[in-house]
Amino acid sequence: MKFSDAIRRTVTLALSFCSLVVGHWSFGTTAATTAEREAEFYPLITVPIPEGIVLEAGAIAALPNQRLAVTTRLGDIYFVDGAFQNPPTGAKFTKFAAGLHEVLGLFQGKDGWFYATQRGEITRLRDTNGDDRADEFETFADGWGIGGDYHEYAFGSKPDRDGNIWLVLCLTGSFTSEHEFRGWGLRVTPEGKVIPTTSGIRSPGGIATNHLGDIFYTDNQGPWNGTCWLKPLTPGGFVGNPSGFKWYPLATNLGTAPKEPASNSRIATERAKMKEFVPPAIGFPYNKMGQSASGIANDGSGGKFGPFANQLFVGDQTWSTVMRVYLEKVNGIYQGACFPFREGLDSGTLSLEFAADGSLFAGGTDRGWGARGGKPFALQRLVWSGKTLFEIHEMRAKPDGFELTFTEPVDPKTAGDVTAYTFEHYTYIYQSNYGSPEVDREKPPIESATVAPDGRSVRLKVKLTPGHLHELKAPGVKSAKAQPLLHPAAYYWLNEIPAQ
Amino acid sequence: MSWPPLLLLSLCAGLSFAGVTRAEGWLQPAPFAPEVDEGEILLGELNCVACHTTSSEVLARLNSPGAPKLGVNGLRLTPRWLQQWLADPAAKKPGTGMPHALHGLNGAQRTETAEALTHFLVSLAPTGTPAGVSADPARAESGKALYHELGCVACHAPMAHRSDVPDDAFARAVAKAVPLGDLAAKYPAGELVRFLRDPLQHRPGGRMPGSGLSEAEAVSLATYLLRDQIAAATKAKPAAVNGLQFDYFEGGIGSCGDMEKKTPSFSGVTDGLNTKMAKRGNDFGLRFSGVLEVPTAGEYTFWLNSDDGSQLFLDGQQLINLDGTHPPTEKSAKTTLKAGPHSFTLLFFQGGGGLELDLRWAGPEITRRPVPSEAFRHYAQPLLPVGHTEFVVDATKAALGRQLFASPALNCAACHSVDNLASIPVKPLLALAARSSAGCLADNVPVGAPKFDLTPTQRAALRKTVAAAAKLAQPVSPNLRVAQTLTRLNCYACHSREGLGGPFESGRSDWFKVHGEADLGDEGRVPPHLSLVGMKLKPAWLTKVIAEGPKVRPYMATRMPQFGAAHAAKLAASFVEADKQTDAQPEPALTERDAKLGWKLVGRDGLSCIACHTFTTYGSMGIPALALEDMAGRVTWDWFRRYLPDPASLRPGTRMPTFWPEGKAVNTAILGGQTDPQIKAIWAWLNDGAKAEVPAGLIRGRKEIVPDQEAVIYRHFIEGAGSRAIGVGYPEHANLAFDANELRLALVWQGSFIDMSRHSTDRGTGYEPPLGDHVLKFPAGPAFAALPNFEAPWPAAPDRLAGPNRFLGYRLDAKQQPTFRYRVGGVTIEEFPQPKAGEVDMTFLRSFKLTGNGPLWFRVATGDLKAAGDGTFTVDGKFKVRCRGAGEPKIVGNELRVPVNAPGEFTVELTW
């Protein structure tokens, strides 16, 4: 064990204090819940699903003319028209294709074909006779293995800036890679050539590009994942789980497998030993932000969805939520913060897709993995009400702490008061065992909080620790209009400390 | 609460579990809570009050564990080991709680005394011999797995260094372990089996609890622990040992008699009648042979049930003949048997399909039940203790030993009550206060006082406690009593309570494993914390858990040990008292309406608790979380009502989400979204236990896909057609499955198409077979191949990722009928199957169109081929094929091949 007993004990102690303080809990409070407060800014519109359709929405593609294409885990693809009305009571579902194998990726290419990622292949399909039913199905890429294991999912991205589709392939079960390239990220070129690209994947829940065209996927808590992460995919990179190393001999473009990382270590420690190791960009702390990170969508609406243009939105299946992510690059490495954004979705959030009007569609399922929402499946739409909301906008690492920017000017008195914040940082055991508790916790003091003259940002001077999740809460910070933050929590995963 | 159990633990481990190396300095000045001193713990653990009598208040507070039982209730340890142990216990186990009683004697006297005591103790031992254990390295291997996963390693040292455990964690776990001592010299194997199955019977102290081992598990574990005896067993005389011998046969087995003509593929030893050793699902045979140990003379009935055939022989006579290929069939026979061993042979063979084998018996004092594995023996070389010699009790020495045992000088009878020998009273405990540095606590223990293997620090602690012994009459607080017991029983090895203890603190967490793929993280492998457990669990259940260790977490490899009723009652009461909440809420009054609403909430249309939790015989739809029917019998309402709104607050890291975030219900449709009544309703439903109404969503019927007006595609895992199967159901009630991995038609069948329930409920794992009838399965391998000559062996499917052969997709016509497209070498093939229902038979007309260029061979059919004229062939008497437009057919072995050329076209009619 690399961490001391004392720290482990502190963690356990802290946890069990929680368990002792049970009196705080109460029923039937009348104060608005978080979901109710969120609804004022981001109302949730539920698209009614006709009887007989099991819309476990694996992927959503927004098409021109306010049409959606929605894939299902049972292998159907539906066109949905009328989903943009409010209320969308007249939404019409047309079955475009059926009988496919758990479709978890979809877009319509510039060539007019739909590209659907099934478990076994990326299929391109189209309708050639104008009846809104696909009649041509072409195998576009199938250069990986699958067996009969439920866990061997394949998530496919929309095309990146070079027209590549990226695929992340779940391991066989939680712990092993039994078929070719399970536990890998693959790139599929516009010609359909499959290029093994990134090793180290465990159990993805979604994949998408950010506004710069870099590709990210979510990976779930489990072996080698102390919590759920957002990880970048880069050619030749390794993102944490070595179970798929046996396929390096098939990845002739990448050379030999790296030496396996040591278990019971820390990400920062192993990263230093392995040049291929690309650390996670965002940590979603388990049981704080959610329990299973899923679909990803970049807000490219340029402000139509509120003040978060070019940020990523990420689902959590168990918690039936949508989270928000701010990314930055420090020393060439992605890192950044996640924030709560919207809870109270009807089913377990799986797929996310921004439509051209700047609204965000969310598809859900709870089959096989329970979800707070409670509905077996759902299709919902989040729109911005247009009301100004007070949130931490960005959280940036600085050499001596963090810079927070806000969506509204802050009240300099509260925002400049270090007692308006709480701060701690911790990390996870990097291990072959499933998950991890929070370990190596420290609570360094915030030495100062300096509000910028324009009231739009605050500099916090505080100790930073690479390889740790920095948990900041700002319950005392008020806007210039005396409003509290809608979500006072932010979790910054730090790989690098910037030089300036 | 600042009780430091870990330090206390190591303290006690060193002492009474015997023997952590002293040099490690495990006993350090300890920051004990002010109301307790470490000496008190030692006083209790060393059983000082066995000699130094004291008041019932002090006895209650010290709660001494008592000494191991000797005589008829004891264990038959090897006399050689026993004598060495008596001559100097600490030399065998440094730090043991057994004092050195003979330290004042010189070498010859000491040997003589130890020898006499040994003869005395052996003379008291129970008569008879337990079954031997065969020297079977395979059993040792399964014992090794048990040892390392069921919880032994929580206290004892891991012995196999797994590659995923870091060196430092392994070294630390070995160093801080309760030593096992020299088991191979100490135990006859059968005796260790007896001990492992019920340790408390011999050592009521409870530091070695039971693990709920079956006889077979105990034998495996004992074989592993005594593996140093295996080498010596080659010299042992064969004896009756546990289990049966088996011979395993493969291939060409159509009856029990077929085995007699064959040589076994391999042989071995098995616990009882099972087919675990079979390497395949059909066409194999097993011959079990050995001895059936009949407990009581009388008339016995045997019932043999098998699928396929079996035969039972007793004492060389056939008792039941159930030979032949058949579904599960039962036959019985009666016979009168003498008590003792009877030669036993059972033959069993499996042709194909279902597989069953079950032998039951009934007889004097035995109601009809499976013949237990304990009743089977076979003759083999048994494990024998290392250094084994025959030992005969010498009556004179035994008599001397008896005298010595009860003598004032040794006073063994004070701790070990045997043969009605009386303890010799010595100075009462409270009277020792004035001379706490004398006697057993002197720096140099005088002759006549027992010499404990104490460090100076331990001795100092004891002296301090003894000097102020009067205060031991005060009762301790319930929470402290809990901590004391958790330390003594080493519960802290597996559980934490209030931040102390648990596998993470002890550094042994690597040995806590999950069975299968429970996806539960630490919650699935590490036993639950015990903070507030006295409030969480109902007292009766809590008592049962401690006493019997019932299993409620099927995914957890580590077992809750069994500490027996006496410990359980005390500890459970202390928990309940310690964890009492001032704001406790009594059980609410529940109505039938509540239970009905609870049923709604638990099911698919409510909160879908069944997505994770199992219910009676219904698996959950995902992870196998704790069974719903047991909940209300286990947990209290007071805990439940606090847990549901915020599970992570009571169980940090849990996968259980809340459905009432911030106290508000996410489901507003039931009970108006009121939190309190919803939780009460679920509780009401849970209170109906296993009799509760089955939640909606758990009873899953068949979900048949019915092709109506047009064909239906089903791409999924289809049994017989691979992981990239494309099933097609046609309205004509003809169906096929195309294997896109191997590029071949894999299956055709008639009637119902497919049941999608496997894939559309839960997580959807595994292969689904065709639903209909008249299923034809075609052999693996590609449909088309380029061959150097027509007789060349048909190739296996080429590497998908490397070669040019690949599946290209399909086009659907107006009736949604697919035309498959695939490439083999330089040829692109389009295959259009079209069903035609005849009056009796079904036909698929398969039209092939080849483009590109090159000759290929097409394998039309494989099987017993018979030309039926007109170019038609009958295959296996089951179906007919006719190929038109291709070249001259060739029969190669059992294959019908035709040459085809691209560009070109041909058809195949498949009729069945």
Q: What is the mean pLDDT of chain A?
A: 93
CATH number assigned to the domain comprising residue A311: 2.120.10.30
Spatial CB neighbours of A47, under 8 Å, sequence gap ≥ 6: A80, A83, A88, A91, A379, A380, A381
Listed by number, the residues of chain A in 299-358 with a beta carbon closer than 8 Å to a beta carbon of chain B are 318-320, 343-344
Quick one: A278 and A346 in the same domain? yes
**B373 CA: distance to closest CA in chain A (Å):** 35
Phi-psi region of B621 (alpha: psi -120 to 50; beta: other; left: phi over 0): alpha
Q: Please say which residue of A351, A382, A413 terminates a domain.
A: A382
Q: How confident is the model at residue B517 (pLDDT cuts 50, 70, 90)?
A: low
HSE-CB for A299 with a 13 A CA cutoff: 25
Does B25 score more than 60 pLDDT? no
Q: Stretch B259-268: mean pLDDT, rounded?
A: 87
Q: What is the pLDDT of residues A384-428, one digit of tens each?
A: 999 999 999 999 999 999 999 999 999 999 999 999 999 999 999
Quick one: A269 and A376 in the same domain? yes
Report the pLDDT value the prediction gives residue A195, as an integer from 0 to 100: 97
Quick one: A82 and A181 in the same domain? yes
Quick one: A307 and A421 in the same domain? no
More confident residue, B137 or B319: B319
Q: What is the pLDDT of residues B762-776, one digit of tens each?
A: 788 889 999 999 999
User: Which 3 state secondary structure label does DSSP give A363?
Assistant: strand
Q: What is the mean pLDDT of chain B?
A: 89
User: Which 3 state secondary structure label does DSSP give B500?
Assistant: strand
Report the pLDDT value the prediction gives residue B518, as an integer from 0 to 100: 66
Q: How confident is the model at residue A160 (pLDDT cuts 50, 70, 90)?
A: very high
**Using an 8 Å Cβ cutoff, are A70 and A59 in contact?**
yes
**Is A61 inside any structural domain?**
yes
Does B302 score more than 50 pLDDT? yes
Q: Stretch B563-569: mean pLDDT, rounded?
A: 94
Q: Which of A21, A22, A132 to mutate to test the interface with B (most CBs of B within 10 A)?
A: A22
Q: What is the pLDDT of residues A96-130, one digit of tens each?
A: 999 999 999 999 999 999 999 999 999 999 999 99
Does B60 score more than 80 pLDDT? yes
**Is A449 inside any structural domain?**
yes
Backbone angles phi, psi at B748, to 5 degrees: -135, 150
**Is A22 inside any structural domain?**
no
Report the pLDDT value the prediction gives residue A18, as an integer from 0 to 100: 39
User: Taking the domain B592-691, which CATH number applies?
Assistant: 1.10.760.10
Q: What is the pLDDT of residues A163-189, one digit of tens each?
A: 999 999 999 987 899 999 999 999 999
Quick one: A210 and A321 in the same domain? yes
Does B785 score more than 90 pLDDT? yes
Does B714 score more than 70 pLDDT? yes
CB contact under 8 A, B622 and A5: no
Q: How confident is the model at residue B37 (pLDDT cuts 50, 70, 90)?
A: low
Which 8-state DSSP code applies to residue B56? H
Q: How confident is the model at residue A5 (pLDDT cuts 50, 70, 90)?
A: very low
Q: What is the pLDDT of residues B528-561, one digit of tens each?
A: 999 999 999 999 999 999 999 999 998 999 999 9
Report the pLDDT value the prediction gives residue B5, as an integer from 0 to 100: 34
Q: How confident is the model at residue B604 (pLDDT cuts 50, 70, 90)?
A: confident
Q: How confident is the model at residue A23 (pLDDT cuts 50, 70, 90)?
A: very low
Q: How confident is the model at residue B6 (pLDDT cuts 50, 70, 90)?
A: very low
User: Reduced to 3 DSSP states, what percent helix, strand and coil does chain B have, rounded to the nearest 5?
Assistant: 30, 25, 45
Which positions in chain A touch B716 (Cβ < 8 Å)? 75, 101
Q: Stretch A340-368: mean pLDDT, rounded?
A: 96
CATH number assigned to the domain comprising residue A488: 2.60.40.1220
Which stretches within A56-95 are classed as H helix?
A: none
Quick one: A353 and A431 in the same domain? no
Does A24 score more than 80 pLDDT? no
Q: What is the pLDDT of residues B177-219, one digit of tens each?
A: 888 889 999 999 999 999 999 999 999 888 899 999 988 899 9
Quick one: A286 and A401 in the same domain? no
CB contact under 8 A, A12 and B657: no
Question: B239-380 with B592-691: one CATH topology?
Answer: no
Q: What is the pLDDT of residues A195-232, one digit of tens each?
A: 999 999 999 999 999 999 999 999 999 999 999 999 99
Closest CA to B11 of B413, B458, B609: B458
Number of Cβ within a 10 Å radius of residue A257? 17
**A284 CA: distance to closest CA in chain B (Å):** 13
Domain with A479 in it = 5-13+390-494
- Chain A residue whose CA is closest to B602: A374
**CA torsion sign, B360 to B362 to B368 to B369?**
negative
**Is A18 inside any structural domain?**
no
CB contact under 8 A, B652 and A18: yes
Report the pLDDT value the prediction gives residue B236, as an integer from 0 to 100: 77
Closest CA to A1 of B167, B163, B511: B167
The domain segmentation of chain B, as residue ranges, is: 137-231, 239-380, 480-578, 592-691, 704-911
- Chain B residue whose CA is closest to A431: B164
**Is A28 inside any structural domain?**
no
Q: What is the pLDDT of residues A430-457, one digit of tens each?
A: 998 888 989 999 999 999 999 999 999 9
Which span out of B21-30, B122-131, B479-488 was modeled with the highest average pLDDT? B479-488
Report the pLDDT value the prediction gives residue B794, as an integer from 0 to 100: 96
- pTM score: 0.76
Which span out of B90-99, B486-495, B728-737 was modeled with the highest average pLDDT? B728-737
Report the pLDDT value the prediction gives residue A173, as an integer from 0 to 100: 80
Listed by number, the residues of chain A in 36-65 with a beta carbon closer than 8 Å to a beta carbon of chain B are 54
Number of Cβ within a 10 Å radius of residue B762? 17
Report the pLDDT value the prediction gives residue B167, as an integer from 0 to 100: 87
**Using an 8 Å Cβ cutoff, are B772 and B800 in contact?**
no
Q: Please say which residue of A382, A403, A425 terminates a domain.
A: A382
Which positions in chain A touch B504 (Cβ < 8 Å)? 8, 12, 437
Quick one: A372 and A401 in the same domain? no
Report the pLDDT value the prediction gives residue B1, as an integer from 0 to 100: 30
Does B174 score more than 90 pLDDT? no
Q: How confident is the model at residue B20 (pLDDT cuts 50, 70, 90)?
A: very low
**A238 CA: distance to closest CA in chain B (Å):** 19
More confident residue, B38 or B744: B744
Across the A:B interface, residue pairs with CB atoms under 8 Å apart total 247
* Dihedral angle of Cα B608, B613, B615, B619, to the nearest 10 degrees: 100
Which positions in chain B touch A371 (Cβ < 8 Å)? 608, 611, 657
Q: Please say which residue of A382, A413, A439 terminates a domain.
A: A382
CB contact under 8 A, B801 and A137: no
Quick one: A366 and A453 in the same domain? no
Quick one: A407 and A270 in the same domain? no
Q: Where are the beta strands (DSSP E) in B157-283?
A: 239-242, 244-250, 266-270
CA gyration radius, chain A: 22
Q: What is the pLDDT of residues B847-866, one digit of tens each?
A: 999 999 989 999 999 999 99
Which positions in chain A touch B645 (Cβ < 8 Å)? 25, 27
Q: Going by DSSP bridges, is the β-strand pair B356-363/B298-307 parallel, antiparallel, or unpaired?
A: antiparallel
Does B22 score more than 70 pLDDT? no
Number of domains in chain A: 2
Say how far apart CA A59 and CA A104 lie, in whole Å.
5
Spatial CB neighbours of B391, under 8 Å, sequence gap ≥ 6: B78, B79, B80, B122
Q: Going by DSSP bridges, is the β-strand pair A489-494/A194-199 parallel, antiparallel, or unpaired?
A: unpaired
Quick one: A335 and A405 in the same domain? no
Quick one: A368 and A400 in the same domain? no
Which positions in chain B touch A120 (Cβ < 8 Å)? 715, 723-724, 740
CB contact under 8 A, A19 and B649: yes
Measured N-to-C along each axis, helices B215-225 and B137-149 cross at an angle, to the nearest 10 degrees, of 100
| CATH T-level topology, domain B239-380 | Jelly Rolls (2.60.120)
